């Protein structure tokens, strides 16, 4: 009787295996995130000990599912596989079927048997498939190959496939808590947000805008940047904070206006973090890239902030950041013109601001009240 052959997607955990006693919590969160990302797709979860199995139906869109899986943090690799019974004859027969279109290719056979209770070994599998490959006119080899065939045998199933796709790895979004992410319309902060999500932080975005009405943001590039970032996170929340209240209060501090603006942004982020039960703040700063990002200015800006401030890009240069922005899909929108409040120009911007100077300017501007009024005027949305 011929073996039943199913078409399934298999996703691998990567570093989640290092989570010890908390591993199951991480895997449950990963499956929940996968279910959210694949909403509307036709699949169901199958049982498996050391990987996530997605059972597909005849009308499942495997290309769409693979595309969406590629954006889920916590998955290290995935593949579209054919599943059969863990029997040597059935495995070889399925391998033969998959190798027939590869006639004339140099093929590398890879076998892994995670369950050791069978009479046959991984070497037995390879030897049988190599013999089959040679009969089909393929050239089995260990080096300098241009095709591969993989066999993974578990206690209940055998998975056979020819293509493996690397995924982003990292931790499932939400397993490291929440982060308030200060995001502008530039290249850097979306990349910082991507790295924050990669380490399991659920984003709460805060954007300080220069429009007179928050509704004007809808016609700008910001919703498109945030939509791209939302493809990496099951849920996202957005705060659009007006800048005009701060700008009115900061009149007369031209040399330090940008540094004071950064203090204002961090204070806004800190207050929103309290409201959202977030654990930290994330910014897109890169050390020394602009005047406000010198060590002295960063120290002055963050003085008095009680939450941890993570700067994933602190050691990156602009070329490196740009390459990542292209990779994650935010670059095209980030380089479009935009009224960004962080582009304040000063003929002689301060590069070595003393904490006491900025504290005095913040007091003169009544920054506490400015922060409260600005947040009260925020436009808030969520996905």
Question: CATH: 3.30.70.260, 3.30.2130.30, 3.30.830.10, 3.40.50.300. Which one for 6-166?
Answer: 3.30.2130.30
DSSP labels for 128-174? HHHHHHHHTT-EE-SSS-SEEEEEEE-SS-EEEES--EE---SB-TT
Q: Are 300 and 263 in contact (CB under 8 A)?
A: yes
Q: What is the pLDDT of residue 114?
A: 82
Tens digits of pLDDT across the chain (383 residues): 455 678 899 999 888 877 778 888 999 999 999 999 999 999 999 887 788 999 998 899 999 999 999 999 999 999 999 999 999 999 999 999 999 999 999 999 999 988 788 889 999 999 999 999 999 999 999 999 999 999 999 888 899 999 999 999 999 999 999 999 999 999 999 999 999 999 999 999 999 999 988 888 988 999 999 999 999 998 889 999 999 999 888 776 778 888 999 999 999 999 999 999 999 999 999 988 877 788 988 998 999 999 999 999 999 999 999 999 999 999 999 999 887 786 555 556 788 889 999 999 899 999 999 999 999 999 998 87
Q: Are 280 and 179 in contact (CB under 8 A)?
A: yes
Residue holding tokens 């070595």?
352
Q: What is the pLDDT of residue 1?
A: 47
How many Å apart are CA 256 and CA 260, to the nearest integer?
6
Q: What is the pLDDT of residue 163?
A: 92
Q: What is the pLDDT of residue 330?
A: 97
Give the fold, CATH level 3, of 178-382.
Answer: Rossmann fold (3.40.50)
Within 13 Å, how many C-alpha atoms sit on residue 335's CB side? 9
Which DSSP state fits 360? H
Q: Are strands 77-84 and 6-12 parallel, antiparallel or unpaired?
A: antiparallel
How many Å apart are CA 162 and CA 99, to the nearest integer?
8
Domain ranges of the chain: 6-166, 178-382
Total number of residues shown for the chain:
383
* CA 297 to chain CA mean position, Å: 29
Beta strands in the chain (DSSP E): 6-12, 43-46, 52-56, 77-84, 106-113, 139-140, 147-153, 158-161, 165-166, 178-182, 202-209, 237-242, 280-282, 309-310, 379-382
Q: What is the pLDDT of residue 4?
A: 66
Domain 6-166 identical in fold to domain 178-382: no
Q: What is the pLDDT of residue 72?
A: 96
């Amino acid at each position: 009787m011929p073996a039943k052959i199913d078409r399934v997607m298999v996703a691998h955990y990567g570093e989640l295996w290092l989570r010890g006693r908390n591993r199951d919590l991480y895997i449950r969160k990963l499956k929940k995130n996968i279910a959210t990302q694949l909403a509307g797709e036709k699949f169901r979860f199958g049982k498996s000990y050391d990987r996530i199995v997605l059972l597909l139906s005849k009308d499942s869109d495997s290309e769409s599912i693979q595309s969406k899986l590629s954006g889920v943090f916590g998955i290290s690799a995935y593949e579209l596989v054919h599943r059969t019974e863990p029997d040597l004859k059935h495995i070889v027969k399925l391998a033969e079927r998959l190798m027939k279109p590869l006639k004339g290719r140099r093929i590398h056979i890879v076998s892994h048997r995670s369950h050791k209770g069978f009479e046959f070994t991984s070497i037995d599998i390879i030897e049988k498939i190599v013999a089959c490959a040679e009969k089909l006119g393929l050239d089995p080899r260990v080096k300098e190959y241009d095709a591969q065939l993989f066999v993974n045998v578990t206690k209940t199933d055998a998975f056979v496939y020819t293509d493996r796709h690397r995924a982003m790895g990292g931790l499932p979004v939400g397993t490291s808590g929440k982060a308030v992410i200060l995001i502008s319309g530039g290249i850097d902060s979306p990349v910082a947000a991507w790295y924050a999500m990669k380490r399991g932080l659920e984003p709460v975005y805060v954007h300080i805008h220069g429009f007179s009405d928050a509704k004007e943001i809808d016609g700008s590039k910001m919703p498109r940047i945030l939509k791209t970032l939302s493809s990496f996170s099951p849920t996202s929340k957005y705060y659009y904070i007006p800048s005009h209240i701060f700008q009115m209060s900061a009149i007369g501090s031209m040399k330090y206006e940008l540094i004071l603006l950064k203090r204002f942004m961090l204070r806004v982020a800190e207050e929103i973090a309290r409201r959202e039960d977030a654990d930290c703040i994330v910014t897109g700063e890169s050390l020394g890239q602009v005047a406000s990002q010198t060590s002295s200015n960063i120290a002055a800006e963050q003085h008095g902030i009680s939450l941890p401030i993570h700067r994933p890009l602190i050691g990156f240069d602009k070329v490196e950041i740009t390459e990542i922005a292209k990779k994650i899909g935010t670059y095209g929108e980030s380089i479009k013109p935009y009224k960004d409040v962080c582009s304040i120009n000063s003929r002689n911007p301060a590069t070595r601001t003393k904490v006491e100077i900025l504290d005095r300017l913040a007091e003169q501007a009544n920054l506490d009240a400015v922060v409260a009024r600005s947040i009260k005027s925020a436009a808030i949305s969520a996905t």
